Amino acid sequence: MSQNGPDTLQIDIGDTHLGCVRWRGRPGGPVIVAVHGITANAWSWGPVARHLDGEIGLVAVDLRGRGASSAAPPPFGIRAHADDVAVVIDRLGAVPAVLAGHSLGAHVALMCDERHPAAVARMVLIDGGTPVAPAPPGVDPDAALQETLGPSLARLGKVWPDRVTYHEMWRTHPAFGGALTPEIERYVLSDLEPCSGGFRSVVNEAAVRQDGAELIIDEEVRGLFDRRAEPVTVIRAETGLNASPPPFIDSQFVTRYPQHDWRMLKGSNHFTVLIGEAGAAMVADSLREAARALA
């Protein structure tokens, strides 16, 4: 990598190593620790890191079963990820950290703060953290997860003949608007590994299913936001997973939890609120504010 570009890390957390991507900030300055979504990886934070422009360092973690941590063994689940992130924060010497989380990563951040309060000073949550819709009575949680994440889960079991085909799938995704920047290309293509017949996603489907099931049926996980009394910044997208209503975070939560700093990004969806230009800029500004308050 060039001196100013990101570098990759393998951090020993005891029973395994977790991959991380690090964008360096000014020497002696604060470091943001960031957690990705349920089928994403650390490179999803690239646009935010660019907007931080070296002012603040950012280390994005690949959770077990994703990215460079795809081969990491169980345990999976929100508690295990939270414990892993706390160890990463300690290994980086970033205690107490500003912790950012997108989608599933927001739930992991909340759980990390609840289980390891000394590790976390401030949090910025991006389109996640509030309770997701529970499974209807009598509906299997896995079926409910399939209903919510069907296209993402289907991607995990598919073999793509080449990288171009995979790239085209994302380029035509309704949430991406027909174009992928080089940063987003790096993010989506880093999800692939060679296999018989072409390429497949590195994401461990068992990890995704366990994490997703906890979001739907685990009452301790579902109650994370209810138990959060201390104010936190929450950035909401205007629309959902497919760039259409409803939003991922319903407006009822804004009314129910007025102690938090709610920020809505008009024109964004669940993906572009993090990786789109306007979204990455808003997230970076919010992280700057959190880092300054910590300092």
What integer pLDDT is reported at residue 88 of this predicted model? 98
What integer pLDDT is reported at residue 137 of this predicted model? 79
Q: Which domains does the chain have, with CATH numbers?
A: 7-131+203-294 (3.40.50.1820)
- Kindly tell me if the per-residue pLDDT of 78 is higher than 60: yes
Q: Say which range, 9-13, 240-244, 262-266, has the weakest mean pLDDT.
A: 240-244
Confirm if 108 and 78 have CB atoms less than 8 A apart: yes
Summarize the confidence of residues 179-191 as an average pLDDT. Answer: 93
Cα–Cα nearest to 148, from 244, 51, 216, 57: 216
Summarize the confidence of residues 3-21 as an average pLDDT. Answer: 92
23-34 pLDDT, tens digit each: 999 988 889 999
What integer pLDDT is reported at residue 148 of this predicted model? 76
Query: Which pLDDT band, with edges at 50, 70 and 90, does 5 fall under?
Result: confident
Query: Which pLDDT band, with edges at 50, 70 and 90, does 149 fall under?
Result: confident
- Kindly tell me if the per-residue pLDDT of 286 is higher than 60: yes
What integer pLDDT is reported at residue 138 of this predicted model? 77
**Cβ neighbours, 10 Å, residue 12:** 11
Summarize the confidence of residues 270-278 as an average pLDDT. Answer: 96
**What is the rounded distance in angstroms from the CA atom of residue 17 to the CA atom of residue 24?**
21
pTM, two decimal places: 0.96
At 89, is the secondary structure helix, strand, or coil? helix
**What is the rounded distance in angstroms from the CA atom of residue 96 to the CA atom of residue 98?**
7
Pairing status of strand 233-237 against strand 17-23: unpaired
If you average pLDDT over every residue of the chain, what do you get? 93
**What is the rounded distance in angstroms from the CA atom of residue 60 to the CA atom of residue 31?**
10
**What is the rounded distance in angstroms from the CA atom of residue 194 to the CA atom of residue 189?**
12
Summarize the confidence of residues 209-214 as an average pLDDT. Answer: 93
What integer pLDDT is reported at residue 28 of this predicted model? 85
Whether the ω angle into residue 6 lies within 30 degrees of 0, i.e. cis, is no
Query: Which pLDDT band, with edges at 50, 70 and 90, does 167 fall under?
Result: very high
- Kindly tell me if the per-residue pLDDT of 2 is higher than 90: no
Amino acid, res. 204? N
What integer pLDDT is reported at residue 4 of this predicted model? 61
- Kindly tell me if the per-residue pLDDT of 295 is higher than 80: no
- Kindly tell me if the per-residue pLDDT of 3 is higher than 70: no
What integer pLDDT is reported at residue 72 of this predicted model? 98
Summarize the confidence of residues 150-177 as an average pLDDT. Answer: 89
Q: What is the 3-state secondary structure (H, E, C) of 200-215?
A: EECCCHHHHHHHHHHH
Summarize the confidence of residues 120-131 as an average pLDDT. Answer: 97
